[in-house]
Structure 1
Amino acid sequence: MDNSPTALFDSYEQDFQQIIQSIREKVEGDGQGEQRKAALRRVEMELDEADEMISQMEIEIQGIPQSLKPSYTSRLRASKASLTQYKKLSKDLYTSLARSDLLSSSKPGFNSSDQPYGNGERDERGRLLAGTAVLEDGSRRLLESQRVALETEEQGADILRNLRGQREQIEHARDTLRTADTSIDRASGTLKKMIRRMYQQRVVTGAIILVLVLLILIILWAKFFH
């Protein structure tokens, strides 16, 4: 298992490229009518998956070392540009397909005897259907944006919680070091006092010995010369 700091980013990028390749094949492929609509619906689902891969890549790039980050930032930027390109292309294809359906329903010869609506009613109905489709597409994209925003907010909250935990650990370590420093200062002061008392005891002991020697000398002198 690859435990390098770029392994997950590389994995997500590979998945993203596979999704983009699948999207490219669908948007450039042939097909008409319902087959084309089904392909575009699948493209929309894969665009959502690609968007999720981009979000994961943005998270993983935060942990990449600074020496490698510029290269990976460029790759992330290129992936975002590719996703934006295919999102726009998918939207244009949807619009083109809807326009083709609308135009085909209003071709000459498609008169009121073919449908239970007159020309004016049929045109109005077509415009309403097109407007409804646009609104539904906008609502779907808005819901998707909200979902991504909520996921990003949740990931940001997790990062903040991790940072808060790390800060508490650092503060605890700093308090421990401060306590250890205080203990060392106290121990140093105690050792200095002990050393000072030891020297004092040595001086007192030397003075006592000196006095005893003098007394012995005085006693000997008094005994032999008096």
Structure 2
Amino acid sequence: MDTSPTALFDSYEQELLQFIDTIRTKLDSSNGENEQEQRKASLRRVEMELEEADEMVSQMEIEIQGIPQSVRAQYHARLRSAKAELSKYKKLLAESRAQLARADLLSSSKGAGAYSSSDEPYGPSSDRARLLDGTAILEQGSKRLMQSQTIALETENQGAEILMNLRTQREQIENSRNTLQRADLAIDRASGTLKKMVRRMYQQRAVTYSIIGVLVLLIVIIAWEKLSG
């Protein structure tokens, strides 16, 4: 199993490219369908694929933070390219939806004369269809907003964890520095004590030599007096 810092990014990128290929195929096939309901179903599937692709992009944005600075620029470029490709297919989906809505409007306007005397509160069926489409778009927008908020909260939590880790590391470094300072002070004190001990040893040695010298001198004097007497 690849455990390099870029492995997960590469994996998400491969999945994203597969999603984009699937989206391209489904958009092409939906444009060739004649029945409106089939086209709507195909476009709904494309929308679901785009949502999953957005999640892949979010994961790539998270993983890119752990890539080394020396190669992060090229991965940023790959991420921008993937986002641009995804944005293109979002625009194509919007255009396909608009074309489908116009086709619904034209088909409903052809039969509008048959409903001109109707007591139906919403008017022609195309109005209901547009209302349902508008409601669906609002629900989708709300869902995407909630997903964006979730991603923002996750990113905020990760940022808070990183700050906590950095703070902990700073405290550890400060504690280590204080420990080193205390060790330096202890070494200085021990060095001073050793110097005092050495100085006292030399002083005691000098006193001892002086006493020995005096004793030797006394012995010599006493022996000289005895011999001369």
What TM-score do you get using the length of structure 2 for normalisation? 0.82
Q: Which residue does 1:106 correspond to in 2?
A: 109
Counterpart mapping for 1:211-222 below 5 A: 211-222=214-225
Counterpart mapping for 1:146-157 below 5 A: 146-157=149-160
Instruction: Find out whether 1:159 has 2:162 as its counterpart.
Output: yes
**Cα distance, 1:187 vs. partner?**
2.3
Q: Measure, in 2, the Cα distance between the counterparts of 1:149 and 1:176.
A: 40
Q: Which residue does 1:59 correspond to in 2?
A: 62
**Cα distance, 1:88 vs. partner?**
2.6
1:87 to 82, 85, 90: 90
AA in 1 matched with 2:49: E
AA in 2 matched with 1:61: I
- Pick closer, same or farther for the CA change 1:2–1:161 going to 2, 3 Å: same
Q: Measure, in 2, the Cα distance between the counterparts of 1:98 and 1:144.
A: 27
Q: Which residue does 2:17 correspond to in 1?
A: 17
Q: Measure, in 2, the Cα distance between the counterparts of 1:153 and 1:5.
A: 22
1:5 aligned counterpart, secondary structure: coil
AA in 2 matched with 1:73: H
**Cα distance, 1:113 vs. partner?**
7.8
Q: Measure, in 2, the Cα distance between the counterparts of 1:169 and 1:110.
A: 81
Counterpart mapping for 1:31-180 below 5 A: 31=33, 32-108=35-111, 111-112=114-115, 117=120, 121-122=123-124, 124-125=127-128, 127-180=130-183
User: Which contiguous aligned blocks of 4+ residues in structure 1 show a shift greater than 6 angstroms?
Assistant: 113-116
Gaps of 5+ in 1: none
- 1:14-49 residue CA offsets vs partner (Å, 9 max, x unmatched): 222222222222222233423322232222222222
Q: Which residue does 2:211 correspond to in 1?
A: 208
Q: Measure, in 1, the Cα distance between the counterparts of 2:176 and 2:8.
A: 31
AA in 2 matched with 1:146: Q
Q: Measure, in 1, the Cα distance between the counterparts of 2:200 and 2:75.
A: 67
- Pick closer, same or farther for the CA change 1:203–1:134 going to 2, 3 Å: same
- Pick closer, same or farther for the CA change 1:114–1:222 going to 2, 3 Å: farther
Gaps of 5+ in 2: none
Q: Measure, in 2, the Cα distance between the counterparts of 1:77 and 1:204.
A: 87
